[in-house]
Amino acid sequence: MSKAYKITLALLVLLLVFLTWLEANEPQELNWSPSYSALDKIPLGTKVLFDNLKEQDLELKEVNVPPFEFLNDTTVTGTYFFLNNGLGFDKHELKKIFEWVAKGNTAFFIAEQFSANLLDTLDLKKETLTPEKGFSSKPLLNLKNPALKNSQPFLFDKETYQDIFILSDSLPQDVLGVTQLKGDSAEITSSKVNFLRDTVGKGLVYLHSTPKAFSNYFLLQDNNAEYVEKVLAYLPAQKVVYWDHYYKTGKSFYTSPLFVILNSKALRWAYYFVIIGSVLFILFEGKRKQRSIPIVQPLRNQTLDFTRTIAGLYLDREDYSSIASKKITLFLEYVRTHYRVPTGNVNESFYENLAVLSDNSKEEVKKLWQFMQRLEKNQSVSKEELLQLNKAMEAFKKK
């Protein structure tokens, strides 16, 4: 091992140790990505809500399969609870959910983005509130029922966007909750619907457009847990609640062996060291050592011999028409590449430009082009005409 090799290796090890120390002492950034997973402790996870529901006097069951598969069991009854930043049901799955609700069950949908077929089925539209006159985009939330309504609206104390429902006059829906972006005062003066109820057969469907109100961040602020408690008061009493784990942006269970390694700082850096060590081994010790490879001469270019052979076949068959056609094609390509003159539009201007560029007279250029056009129109070309064409092309190029 040479001295330079040892110095390089030592410097690399010191660099890795320094980078490890920086990583270990760097404060972790807060992850604000929407998850709504019952396992996530990040601000927009739902671990606080899920753990609290397990402590309540209700039967909470977890569902890890799609609704279409889960509802194949005809003995399932209760409340199906969906909570995510987006819920995208296809038409067959939505039909199955609504058929299950129509038997006297309840579906609770909480999301910012709903599939179009769900909104169409309930004759609803959605809009996003925008702040006016530069006011804050922090949403205020409250219930409409006087028995549940709070004296002061609940505030989601972070800049975000707020979706609302636009109700149709054709179907009677119960408005349960309202919202508004915070203005000069912490009061809801122009209420917009964000929580409603509708009937489907013998059952009920609840829609809430503010999933952030059920997140860890919202529940752990001030008395905001009271808002969620009042919303969930609409859950049917003494029935099973099925918590959906399938429609979740965040993972509700580990799907990769690397998740355990990368989720632990010690294991993560051990994994990185293995990869870096392997790369260093390849760079310094993994080189192939072998005898010199003899020089292999490249194959001789036989394009000219091939061309002569093909030309001889054409001459033997006396196919002068094909030869003339190919010579004209090659000549036109020569004009386009050598003189940068397009050959698609042949007119007097074309003859003049080409004559100037090629040092030929306009009459000579025009005569050559007319001769080529005549040969292309002829059904057959004689040997003398072919020789005349070749002679005219060579004369054009020599000038």
Express each pLDDT in 130-178 by its tens digit.
Answer: 887 666 788 999 999 999 999 999 999 888 889 999 998 766 789 999 9
Provide the 3-class DSSP secondary structure of residue 387: helix
Average pLDDT over residues 4-17: 79
Q: Which residue has the higher pLDDT, 130 or 293?
A: 130
Judged against a pLDDT cut of 90, whether residue 375 lies above it is answered with no
176: Cβ contacts below 8 Å, ≥ 6 apart: 143, 144, 145, 195, 196, 197, 206, 231, 234
pLDDT at 228: 95
Tell me the DSSP string of 85-140.
SEE---HHHHHHHHHHHHTT-EEEEE-SEE-HHHHHHTTEEEEEE--STT---PEE
Task: State the pLDDT confidence band at 1, using cuts at 50, 70 and 90.
Answer: low
Give the CA distances from residue 95 to residues 50, 90, 171, 240, 396, in Å, rounded to whole numbers and listed in that order.
Answer: 27, 9, 19, 21, 79
108 pLDDT band, cuts 50/70/90, is very high
> What value does the mean pLDDT take over residues 175-201?
90
Residue-wise over 279-303: b if at least 16 C-beta within 10 A, else e?
A: ebeeeeeeeeeeeeeeeeeeeeeee
Q: What is the Cα–Cα distance from 124 to 198, expressed in whole angstroms?
A: 11
The β-bridge relationship of strands 139-143 and 113-114 is unpaired
**Pick the residue with more confidence: 363 or 202?**
202
Alpha-carbon gap, residue 371 to 395, rounded angstroms: 14
Which is more confidently placed, 16 or 118?
118
Asked if 77 contacts 239 with a C-beta cutoff of 8 angstroms, the reply is yes
Looking at every residue in the chain, the average pLDDT score rounds to 85
Give backbone dihedrals phi and psi of 9, rounded to 5 degrees, phi first.
Answer: -65, -40
DSSP sequence for 255-317: --HHHHHHHSHHHHHHHHHHHHHHHHHHHHT-----PPPPPPPPPP--HHHHHHHHHHHHHHT
Instruction: Estimate to the nearest angstrom the gap between the alpha carbon of 391 and the chain centroid.
Output: 62
Report the pLDDT averaged over residues 27-55.
89
Of 272, 264, 191, residue with least CA distance to 17: 272
- Between 183 and 190, where is the model more confident? 190
Tokens of 371: 């001769």
Q: What value does the mean pLDDT take over residues 239-251?
A: 88
What whole-number percentage of the chain has pLDDT above 90? 41
Question: Could you tell me the CA-to-CA distances from 353 to 31, 336, 340, 369 in Å, in that order?
Answer: 68, 12, 10, 14
Flag whether pLDDT at 281 surpasses 90: no
When pLDDT is cut at 50, 70 and 90, the band that residue 95 belongs to is very high
Place of tokens 């990185």: 272
CA distances from 39 to 42, 58, 231, 252 (A): 9, 20, 22, 6
The answer on pLDDT for 37 being more than 60 is yes
**Percent of the chain at pLDDT exceeding 70:** 88
Radius of gyration of the chain (CA): 40
What contacts 148, CB < 8 A, 6 or more positions away?
230, 233
User: Rounded to whole angstroms, what are the CA distances from 186 to 155, 157, 176, 178, 183?
Assistant: 8, 11, 20, 14, 7
pTM: 0.60
Nearest Cα neighbor of 242 from 121, 101, 40 is 101
